[in-house]
Structure 1
């Protein structure tokens, strides 16, 4: 777009690449300040644990967003997203009609100092202090559930911001099963499903969030909301039936739709508010990844009484190499490990197995 050595080209695009926005900014204006919101509404409109946006460095009147879908997040704010793949790209605020907020997860990772996270807001909504700016002892370790016990509640609501996707995730019954009989994502001691830190480009682009968090469920452990369940309606038990129900526009599916990011992958989202819901792959017909930010857990955003977090390790972090996200991911790995150690949480069984395998490989 420009050959000026004093400017940098910025690109935002969606996962399916149907929408591409490019502008330039003077290097002197970098890094762009970004703001993280941890409110319940932002969690449920993304499926992530937060929303991060930075002002798009171009006047609103110069940006043609007519091809994007709009969701009225509130009376003042609209989320602009791709109706095909769900990527949220911009935020409109009637209080600032000349500006656009850009979802940082949609920004290309081509500049080492492009974005700097400068402020967190509505941290209190999380209840458990997720990614907060407070001291490390908030909330106090004594108030947290830890990682050693069984799940503390049997089910949790899975709901997008607009309510068009309204499901329940149930705790699976794995009592009496040997370790090798358990699904790969179930902790053999606590029988909790794991929760992961995912830095892959595809998840980032679909959600508009720089690092996404998934947990996992066997489809047999998902159900419709209580009203539909009371009527005897049964949620699909495999990904083939799930896809078929959505393709047939079954009213029971609500606003659930999907984008096939690969021939064997379906990325489910709410077609009304854009929230990520599931990741499904044909080779795992009985299992889906569940967007953790949609869980309405009684103990807070991280749902520590239901899932087991793999603190201290990110997956697909190699996707961030060479750009501004690389340092961000290093900080997240370091600080989540510090969080684990300070609270006396043990290493997960998966991490122990991986470290043992790595040690054997070096010997």
Structure 2
């Protein structure tokens, strides 16, 4: 006799949050939507969120000593749901709508992806028009031979688009800010002294020294500290940020998490947005979560960023975890770069 339910197990990077969900087999696969609205991008720091609505009556069953006490909830003024993220490592686990008793869960933190490809179905892009360039929806159109529908519901009371205005729309400085505003800083263009330095030869493209390098990252560590299948990183010298972060990379409401002995990450302790990544062998360069950027041209910030479109970082992790999405992203990035005549490839030290 086969079970009528399937138990799925989830965990954040630091393992402070671990839980299972018990899903009826008849409800599988769970439909995953990629939400591109500015609220999701700025609460996560990622190109979009990866969420699946759980069937009615299904909710996380925390594995002791894990529990809601290990999570921080964030609910902004017009929200119907509360977003939860690990208070220690910042990993988003999903949203809870208490009036309906519904959980919308982050699919990227479940172990089921590695062994069972019938659990999730990448189904839709929500609010792909929230940024002028479409963001990640312009890169990924089909996953596991299923075409992702473009959907823009009209029920939000808060604007879901991100259109910088006034001093935000500045060609010399780019604003990076989390959703709650607790973390906010500006990024400058590459300065002449840096361009002429040995570091400039490493961290700038010889084809365009007005832009910073960036890549999409599929590594397991990033997935489990963000709660998403992919994150975009932009590489900038610390001295090109204003205000300058403290030696431990803290700005405003940010909090630090050391994911390994040599790697320091920060996230907003209020809304959970990923902010920085820094490693010991290149302390002068900080990786900035691209989902924080408020670029007028769109979520890919092409006026400021030169993307490594030829390949993603840590593709082996992504392909092992969820091959369908990772292949779609890798191939989509190549096509996107080719269409722009910018099929860039470079080494990230």
On whether the aligned pair clears a TM of 0.5, the verdict is yes
- Give the 3-state SS of the residue equivalent to 1:90 in structure 2: strand
Q: Compared with structure 1, are the counterparts of its residues 30 and 60 closer, same or farther at alpha carbon in structure 2 (3 Å cutoff)?
A: closer
Residue 184 (str. 1) matches residue 202 (str. 2):
yes
Aligned structure 1 segments of 4 or more residues deviating by more than 6 angstroms: 133-136
Paired residue for 1:132, among 132, 137, 141?
137
Q: Is the 8 A contact 2:93 2:227 kept in 1?
A: yes
Residue 328 (str. 1) matches residue 325 (str. 2):
yes
After alignment, is 171-180 or 253-262 more displaced?
171-180
Q: TM-score, normalised by structure 1?
A: 0.78
Residue 154 (str. 1) matches residue 172 (str. 2):
yes
Alignment of 1:257-336 (within 5 A): 257-323=255-321, 325-336=322-333
Residue 95 of structure 2 aligns with which residue? 91
Residue 166 of structure 2 aligns with which residue? none
Cα deviation, residue 60, structure 1: 5.4
Q: Is the 8 A contact 1:23 1:57 kept in 2?
A: no
Residue 170 of structure 1 aligns with which residue? 188
Q: Is the 8 A contact 1:69 1:80 kept in 2?
A: yes
Q: Compared with structure 1, are the counterparts of its residues 17 and 5 closer, same or farther at alpha carbon in structure 2 (3 Å cutoff)?
A: same
Q: Distance in 1 between matches of 2:106 and 2:7?
A: 16
Cα deviation, residue 9, structure 1: 3.1
Cα deviation, residue 62, structure 1: 6.4
Alignment of 1:39-50 (within 5 A): 39-50=37-48
Cα deviation, residue 26, structure 1: 4.4
Q: Is the 8 A contact 1:182 1:188 kept in 2?
A: no
- Give the 3-state SS of the residue equivalent to 1:44 in structure 2: helix
- Give the 3-state SS of the residue equivalent to 1:350 in structure 2: coil
Q: Distance in 1 between matches of 2:25 and 2:310?
A: 33
Cα deviation, residue 346, structure 1: 2.9
- Give the 3-state SS of the residue equivalent to 1:214 in structure 2: strand
Cα deviation, residue 113, structure 1: 2.6
Q: Distance in 2 between matches of 1:135 and 1:320?
A: 15
Residue 230 of structure 1 aligns with which residue? none
Q: Compared with structure 1, are the counterparts of its residues 223 and 62 closer, same or farther at alpha carbon in structure 2 (3 Å cutoff)?
A: closer
Q: Distance in 2 between matches of 1:176 and 1:77?
A: 45
Cα deviation, residue 207, structure 1: 0.8
Q: Distance in 1 between matches of 2:58 and 2:140?
A: 38
Q: Distance in 2 between matches of 1:95 and 1:58?
A: 12
> Could you give the per-residue CA deviations for residues 61-117 of structure 1, whole angstroms, max 9, x where no partner exists?
6645522210114431210111000011020124522x2111122222332232112
Residue 242 of structure 2 aligns with which residue? 223
Q: Compared with structure 1, are the counterparts of its residues 19 and 49 closer, same or farther at alpha carbon in structure 2 (3 Å cutoff)?
A: same
Residue 116 (str. 1) matches residue 112 (str. 2):
no
Consecutive unaligned residues of structure 1, counting only runs of 5 or more, are 137-151, 225-234, 247-252, 354-363
Paired residue for 1:345, among 335, 341, 345?
341
> Could you give the per-residue CA deviations for residues 217-251 of structure 1, whole angstroms, max 9, x where no partner exists?
10000012xxxxxxxxxx14xxxx521x74xxxxx
Consecutive unaligned residues of structure 2, counting only runs of 5 or more, are 142-169
Q: Distance in 2 between matches of 1:94 and 1:294?
A: 28
Q: Compared with structure 1, are the counterparts of its residues 75 and 317 closer, same or farther at alpha carbon in structure 2 (3 Å cutoff)?
A: same
Q: Is the 8 A contact 1:312 1:335 kept in 2?
A: no
Q: Distance in 2 between matches of 1:135 and 1:71?
A: 29
Residue 56 (str. 1) matches residue 54 (str. 2):
yes
Paired residue for 1:198, among 217, 220, 223?
217
Residue 80 (str. 1) matches residue 84 (str. 2):
yes
Q: Is the 8 A contact 2:21 2:58 kept in 1?
A: no
Residue 102 of structure 1 aligns with which residue? 105
